[in-house]
A and B are shown apart, each in its own frame.
Chain A
Amino acid sequence: MQSFNELKLNSKEPVYIQIASFVKKEILLKRAILGDKLPSRREIAAQLSVNPNTVQKAFKLMEEEGYVHTSGNQGSIIYVNEVIYRLIEEELTGELVREFITSAKDINLSFKKVVELITEHW
């Protein structure tokens, strides 16, 4: 059963997006794999102390994006295939790099300097 205890919510992004991002990260790290069960919406809401409507919204998003499948008698499970995994990987790594570039630009680092620093610290 996928736990949400490690998700620390921030006050900047909508909660339903934070929940979906957390699940994507778990998939990327292979901590959530095909067929893993998700807790009930009410359970997740209580775990995170968030509105049950918000959790419902997160499930809708995750189902639309394809990595959560819900069926009447089984509840919700993680669904990953190679295509979905690649998409999540691209999205999350892209996000990481973009954030890094923004912070680097904030302190006026040049591209050349950044590459130098990466080479040094890698």
Chain B
Amino acid sequence: MIQLSFVTKLYNSNNFGLVIEELEIPTGEIVGVLGANGSGKTTFLKSVMGLGELKRGEVLIAGKPVMEQYHNIAFITEEGSYLSHLTPLMYGEFLSVFFPKFNMEKYIKLLKYFDINTKNKIRTFSKGQKSKVEICAGFSKGAKYILLDEPFLGKDMFTRQDFLKMMISILRTDETILISSHFVNEIENIIDRALIFERGRIQGDYYIDDLREEGKELSEVMKTISGYQENKYQNAMKLI
């Protein structure tokens, strides 16, 4: 279980920061972290991960502060946490020193699944290949809490599908997963629950099955929450 209470994070810039009064994510849930650009998704994930200081509030993972849970959390981000001067193989050896539960065999199998050359230095890889290394490493840490920040960024349709199928196949259902993405229709059948962010606040918290049973569609709800103006394009037409 992940618990957030009265979490506040502010920025000096005109960014909205993050304000969450109370949030509980039970173990085993797959949660979509959704919202427009700049709505606070990454800030939220980083707060759960304990990156950057909170102004106020507390994040507990399985009842303990994040600092005591690092070995149980994997944070998979587009920024990448791999070391580019290493080969994927060397990087795996590096990780197994820091993560006692790191599963080298699983890591190598996953790299193979994504057709990654294990013997070349990561820095020679394309953007897509680098992030596959990141994903393989993240899912091999034996973590119970897996945070994915835009894992689909820069990936083609087939890679996205392969990634989702891979994720489903290797889950043991006791992992808690937070996944942020703009590909709402590609993940809405995988997530149990959607947290919709707007201006640094959770403006919508829905279980997908409940939402659909009420006859609503996730993409429609998101449109309403983010105040998407369907006719804005007409202003653009006036420009020419």
A contact residues vs B (CB 8 Å cutoff): 9, 11-16, 42, 45-46, 48-54, 57
Residue pair B213, A11 in contact (C-beta under 8 Å): no
Q: Indicate if B189 sits at the interface (CB-CB under 8 A).
A: yes
- Given the interface pairs A49-B161, A52-B173, A53-B28, the reply to whether A15 lies near B189 with Cβ below 8 Å is yes
Give 6 A-B pairs besides A46-B168, A54-B192 with Cβ atoms closer than 8 angstroms. A11-B185, A48-B189, A49-B190, A50-B168, A51-B192, A53-B28
Cα–Cα distance between A52 and B185 once the two chains are bound (Å): 18
Whether the Cβ atoms of B189 and A9 lie closer than 8 Å is: yes
By the criterion CB–CB under 8 Å, are B217 and A11 in contact?
yes
List 27 A-B pairs, Cβ < 8 Å.
A11-B212, A11-B217, A11-B218, A13-B212, A14-B208, A14-B209, A15-B208, A15-B209, A16-B209, A42-B169, A46-B165, A46-B169, A49-B161, A49-B168, A49-B186, A49-B189, A50-B168, A50-B190, A51-B191, A51-B192, A52-B168, A52-B171, A52-B173, A53-B30, A53-B173, A53-B192, A57-B209
Give bound CA distance, A46 to B170, whole Å.
Answer: 10
The answer to whether A49 and B212 touch (CB under 8 A), given A9-B189, A11-B185, is no
